[in-house]
Amino acid sequence: MEEKKFDPFQFIGFVLIAGILAWMFYNNAAERQKLETEQQQETVTAPDERGQSANKDTRAQPIEQHTTDSLRNAELQTKLGAFSYSASLATVQEGEQVLENEKILVKVSNKGAQITEVKLKEFVDHQEDPVYLVKNGNDAFNINFATTDNHVLNTQDMHFEPSLTKNGDAQVLSMKLKTSNNSYLEYRYELKADSYMMDFSLRSQGLGGTFNSNKPAELSWKHKALRREKSVTYENRYTRLSYEHDGGKYSKLSPASDDDEDEEDVVWLSYRQHFFSAALLTDQPFKSAKLSSIDLVEEEGKDVAFTKEYAAAIPLAYNGGELNYNLDYYFGPTDFKTMKGYDRGLENSIPFGWGIFGWINKYVFTPLFSFLSSFLPYGIAIIIMTIVVRIALSPVLYKSYVSQAKMKVLKPEITEINEKYKDDAMKRQQETMKLWGKAGVSPMSGCVPALLQMPVFYALFMFFPTAFALRQKPFLWAEDLSSYDTIAELPFNIPFYGDHVSLFPILASVAIFFYMMMTTGQQMQTQQQPGMPNMKFIMYLSPLIMLIFFNNYASGLSLYYFISNLLTIGIMLVIKNYIIDEDKIHARIEENKKKPKKQNKFQRRMQEMMEQAEAQQKAKKR
């Protein structure tokens, strides 16, 4: 380890920085004290409408509030320079405007014209409290721009003049930051009836000579995702910043660690919070955007309030010296049907899986489950969908079991080969392959059917945790199919397992154990080949993984695996006892042995390689 030495230059640097900071602090404090003194004097001596001095104890407005407002306006005028306010600015007070329809309630503050509260009226969290996407300062929206006289302004520090009107069945809120009656920066919100989407536009008028067009404005949107589900670690796993960019590409930041990206041509960005999303969309793609996500969850806990901290920094170009952007906000459920209804591509923020897995979820499982749950209880809908999937995959299962039956028939001869060539692994492998070739059996024929089922299994693994329809839907002892079921609370926390016992994962683990017994039992009875995995170890490991790691997963997913494995066991018993005749399979294998077997190019090449390897081994022994 390198020895740490005293660096005089570093010490001098720290002293200089400390001195500069102390000077700035003292200078700002002195200026502020002077400004407060001047404003207090103006407040006491200013004549009222009758020419008399105003009383400091006036009831119309408390002195402290009046002094604060005057101080704020004086400070702003000092900072703004050429960007001076009209007289009407002094009349803008602290306050909030409310936009509301059947689905959401939105509050917008006069200060910064930014959204301070968003309530989803149709939903509650795991504690039966209303679902808020924005509340108690977890969201900050700001536009930073430079003026021609070298001032840098932030809209979040300024007070806007509100005007609330109606446009048909829509509520329209205009928030204006004025320099005069004809010069202003406007935020315009329009909330239509029965919609989670809110129109949002920002534009300026008459400020072309005020903005420094050589320095683009910057839109900043920061958001801390509120926790609202029973397991915060599980919710956090599906809480991600998603976005569309570069002409139709869909990307996501990491859900498990801090992450950031610089992207181009961003069409929308979604601060997804598992089952709910806050998204910003634009009609004209942002040329660039710097996106970041910070993971705030270190471990499971009932007191954890936030999951992720998101941020976006987006340069805004001027058009003819003015700002003019048509945007939209989406505040609503992360639900495929709901999002797809707006035809903006937001449904691609849902983590259905990549490639074929996402395709299966979007176009097979989502429509199928929506149809079944439209007339069945959600738990029953899961069971029926599981039955449909298993029946659809039964031909693949049949081929897999036939392959196992053939290998079982060849077991005595393979055992004989293993005993005969137990000291010569190469020869043992050659003779085994010859036997398989003569009998028309391939060990890969059992693997291929299993591989064909993997896309379906993985797609369903992604489907259930993201299915909004399952949220807070009970079944049997499970209160919420989108979260874990609980039959017992533990007085302590077990690492990876949790502080509770879920029954569905236990049932699924038992079913998987018996399924593994049936599928790997005969392979464990045969002698293990070199390099092959220990099947007995796998047989015990798979149920253990299910038991431990699925204890905190959605109970709907564990219900699916339980029913799926029960059905698989039943189908395999039917195939074994009523469909497959092992005597006929044995007779067919014996007939294949008598027929001359022509090797293809691959088999010939493998045979030659094995013979060469055997010859090299013999040469080494000599």
For 340-356, the pLDDT digits (tens) are: 999 999 999 998 888 88
Furthest-apart CA atoms within the chain: distance in Å: 123
pLDDT computed for residue 58 by the predictor: 33
Instruction: Find the mean pLDDT for residues 578-597.
Output: 66
List the beta bridge partners of residue 140.
Answer: 222
Contact 497, 548 (CB under 8 A): yes
- List the single range of 10-19, 180-189, 585-594 with lowest mean pLDDT: 10-19
Instruction: Find the mean pLDDT for residues 80-98.
Output: 58
Q: For 361-407, what is each residue's pLDDT tens digit?
A: 988 999 999 999 999 999 999 999 999 988 888 787 777 777 777 77
Selected residue with higher pLDDT from 472 and 300: 472
pLDDT computed for residue 390 by the predictor: 86
pLDDT computed for residue 201 by the predictor: 94
Instruction: Find the mean pLDDT for residues 558-570.
Output: 89
Residue ranges of the alpha helices (H) in 440-500?
444-466
Q: What is the DSSP string of 320-359?
A: TTB-EEEEEEEEEE--HHHHHTTTSSGGGGS---SHHHHH
Measured distance CA(510)–CA(513) in Å, rounded = 5
Measured distance CA(499)–CA(480) in Å, rounded = 17
Q: What is the DSSP string of 98-127?
A: EEE-SSEEEEEESBTT-EEEEEEEEEE-TT
Closest CA to 364 of 274, 452, 463, 461: 463
Domains of the chain: 95-351 (2.70.98.90), 362-604 (no CATH)
**pTM (two decimals):** 0.74
- List the single range of 44-58, 172-186, 506-520 with lowest mean pLDDT: 44-58
Instruction: Find the mean pLDDT for residues 176-201.
Output: 92
- List the single range of 196-210, 291-305, 369-383, 408-422 with lowest mean pLDDT: 408-422
What's at 87, amino acid-wise?
Answer: A
The overall average pLDDT reported for the chain is 78
Measured distance CA(478)–CA(508) in Å, rounded = 15
15 pLDDT band, cuts 50/70/90, is: very low
CB atoms within 10 A of CB 383: 19
